[in-house]
């Protein structure tokens, strides 16, 4: 029979609980709208006890963003099997799963939220972008990218971020369509960059060697031909 006595949490376990509670609240409202009192109530502890584990809201906010940024960076990791277009489409699906589930938190991570100007927050965002960049290179099987490829990939990552933020404001385009469009954007940016760089053109041909007839990049070519005609 249960005695009704709660199990006492260790320090790290309680910290992780509070981070999880904060992330859940940040997933529904902007972090600057969530109070320490709400976080304490949701965790079932007192406000002073929250401050025992975190010196202030900013430190809890940054710890929550650290977990969110680790999760978001991991969304760019998919099995390196199948075509490049197919892998990027899976990456976009995983990325928008996160955006869908953590809308206000995602916006806070990308825009800075209450920690705007914080070097920690800026470093987290930069870390996500760099991890995404390295994963895209891995998907293309490129270790030493030419300058135009680096510029193109980093520009595309910025496009994905800004597109997701705009999409959250009303979600007026079907998500699946937007995911495919962003993969098409990658192909279009790569093609334009390759037109100016023979080394990049060779890398792109190799990356697209196994693109199937029904893959997203083939679909892009068909759409562009139809548009031109």
Instruction: Please state, rounded to an integer, the average pLDDT across all residues of the chain.
Output: 88
Alpha helices (H) in the chain, listed in sequence order: 11-26, 36-43, 47-53, 57-74, 84-101, 103-111, 119-140, 147-168, 175-194, 198-207, 216-228
Residue-wise pLDDT for 151-184, tens only, equals 999 999 999 999 999 999 899 999 999 999 999 9
**What fold characterizes domain 67-228?**
Tetracycline Repressor; domain 2 (1.10.357)
**pLDDT value for 1:** 39
Check residue 2 and give its pLDDT.
41
Cα 178 to Cα 154, 167, 203: the distances in Å are 19, 9, 26
Is the pLDDT confidence value at 114 over 70?
no
pTM, two decimal places: 0.85
């Amino acid at each position: 029979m249960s005695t009704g006595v709660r199990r006492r949490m260790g320090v790290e376990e309680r910290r992780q609980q509070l981070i999880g509670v904060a992330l859940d609240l940040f997933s529904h409202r902007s972090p600057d709208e969530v109070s320490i009192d709400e976080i304490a109530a949701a965790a079932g502890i007192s406000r002073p006890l929250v401050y025992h584990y975190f010196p202030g809201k900013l430190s809890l906010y940054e710890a929550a963003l650290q977990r969110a940024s680790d999760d978001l960076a991991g969304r760019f990791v998919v099995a390196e099997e199948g075509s490049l277009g197919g892998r990027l489409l899976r990456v976009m699906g995983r990325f928008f799963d996160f955006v869908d589930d953590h809308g206000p938190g995602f916006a806070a991570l990308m825009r800075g939220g209450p920690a705007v100007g914080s070097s920690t927050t800026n470093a987290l965002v930069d870390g996500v972008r760099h991890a995404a960049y390295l994963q895209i290179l891995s998907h293309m099987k490129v270790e030493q990218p030419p300058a135009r490829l680096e510029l193109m990939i980093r520009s595309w990552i910025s496009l994905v971020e800004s597109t997701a933020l705009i999409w959250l404001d009303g979600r007026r385009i079907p998500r699946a369509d937007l995911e495919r469009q962003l993969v098409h954007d990658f192909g279009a940016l790569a093609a334009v960059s390759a037109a100016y760089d023979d080394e990049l053109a060779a890398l792109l041909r190799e990356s697209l060697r196994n693109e199937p007839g029904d893959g997203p990049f083939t679909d892009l070519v068909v759409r562009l031909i139809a548009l031109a005609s």
